[in-house]
Amino acid sequence: MQRSAPRLTRILAAAAVPVMLVVAGCSSDSGSGGGDAAGDSGAARGEATASASATPSPKPTPTVEPAKYAKLPTACKAIAAKTSAALVPKAKSPNGTAAASSDLSHRAGCSWNGLEDKGVKGSQYRWLDVSFYRYDSEVSLGSGQARAQENFAKEVGKIQATTGAKTLSTAAAPGIGDEAKLVTYTVNKTDEDFPYASVVARTGNVVVVLSYNGAGYAGAPVPRAKTIVEGATQAAKEAVASVVAANK
């Protein structure tokens, strides 16, 4: 029994060593965990700074050139009364007949027509009409001026495509708005030749389309093409001027 005491002491001492190693190992893991937490905090601060510096600056608001004109003239007053009376003698409605429109600020028109009976010399028929188209500036569509330019070309094309038109000719019409075209042609209707003169003009963001034509009946001579062109040109100048006057 005296010999067993020292042996028991050695066994207990040896058994205690692994326990100390386990405790030390746990202490080391705890220290390592603390280091990772500090690293994560620094990384988070770095990411936040990078995110803040990468925030895009606000994009500028798109703009478009303002439309030049905000109004259209009263179509039946756009051509002077003395001019319409001279071009269309004996008009059914001397003050003109307004075209139907759901929005007179963007589209308007007026027409005059009449038959002048000259007895044994026959009768002279005349027709005059004018239309106005105004275009607003819109970011998605472009400026009013650019839109008017595009539709100016379209209106000229429509007239050039007139069914049955003969001897059709297109020329510039200087001195009428910012740009203008004169389209002349002849159409045979009711067994008579009708000489036509159409003027398409643009002033700013407004397109003006004017047409003047006529015919001779019961032996009356066909109107001279020059007379029709001169009448259409005069009326077109007055119509364009009325757009400017309506916006003063």
Of residues 205 and 4, the one with the higher pLDDT is: 205
Task: Encode 190-208: b = buried (16+ Cβ within 10 Å), e = exposed.
Answer: eeeebbbbbbbbbbbbbbb
H or E element at residue 125: strand 123-134
Give me the CATH topology for the region 75-246.
Answer: Protein Transport Mog1p; Chain A (3.40.1000)
Task: Work out the number of other CB atoms within 10 angstroms of the CB of residue 174.
Answer: 8
Give the ranges where the chain is alpha helix by DSSP (H): 4-53, 81-87, 144-160, 225-246
The model carries a pTM of 0.76
Can you give the residue ranges of every domain in the chain?
Answer: 1-59, 75-246
Question: How far apart (Å, rounded) are the C-alpha atoms in residues 103 and 119?
Answer: 43
Residue 109 and residue 134 in contact, taking contact as beta carbons nearer than 8 Å:
no
At 188 the pLDDT is 96
Model confidence over 211-238: pLDDT tens digits?
A: 999 999 999 999 999 999 999 999 999 9
